[in-house]
Amino acid sequence: MQEIREIGIEREVFLLKRGEIIEPAKYGFPHDEMGFLIEERSEPWRHLNTVQMTLEIQHMLLQHRASFFGMDMRMEPSMEGPAEWVNNIAARYNIYSFTDYTKNIYGIKDTHHLGIFPINEEYKRLTAGIHVHFSSRDTDGNVVELPIEAIVKQMDETFDEDITHSGRIPGEWEPKKHGFEYRSLPCDMDIQTVLQAAFKILRDA
């Protein structure tokens, strides 16, 4: 039976006003469950152009919204946030109660589950990434298992320099209903480059 293999993209972006990180939900932006990042999503599809186009359209619309409010969208792999502000958001969104479903093929214990890492008493490092969703189904809609470890390893090897330079954690993935999400890429990657590699790796898997 024929397999339908698809890829989707989720990209995390900081929202800034006068150089300070602000809370996207207050201004009607789609946001992640942690509360401090805009969350852009493509449509999942079998072809690179469709995935890239739907992500870019959403990004353009959100940029118009940010401009209207006098804000900037910043694609930075990490930024420093005041600890008091981060703790306030963490409490309001109750993020420390969230279950961590992330896994790592190398057994690394650190994770981007919350995207918050301590620096000192005054500041915390907040991270933003690109998550690549890989899925496969047959024509009856049944999920077809993918070789997760092999795909994650190939993505790590392909983008090793970008992962290392940005301080992302290699080997990280999360199971999803229709496949899995690769979570080791920084948010400032060129989307076409990511998709070209991801689709090739998925086709060859």
**Residue from 144, 160, 142 nearest 152 by CA:** 160
Give the contacts of 155 (CB within 8 A, at least 6 positions apart): 132, 182, 184, 185, 197, 198, 201
How do residues 159-185 score in pLDDT, each as one tens digit?
999 999 999 999 999 999 989 999 999
> What whole-number distance in Å separates Cα of residue 13 and Cα of residue 131?
12
Q: What is the pLDDT of residue 2?
A: 85
- Residue 88, both tokens: 């306030």
What is the average pLDDT score of the chain? Answer: 96
Q: What is the pLDDT of residue 134?
A: 98
- Domain ranges (residues) in the chain: 3-204
Q: Check: CB of residue 140 under 8 Å from CB of residue 1.
A: yes
H or E element, residue 89:
helix 83-93
Strands of 123-127's sheet in order across: 78-82, 123-127, 116-118
> What whole-number distance in Å separates Cα of residue 99 and Cα of residue 173?
14
> What whole-number distance in Å separates Cα of residue 57 and Cα of residue 66?
14
> What whole-number distance in Å separates Cα of residue 110 and Cα of residue 165?
17
Successive 10-residue mean pLDDT values, the chain, 205 residues: 92 97 95 94 97 98 97 97 93 92 96 94 96 96 96 98 98 96 98 98 96
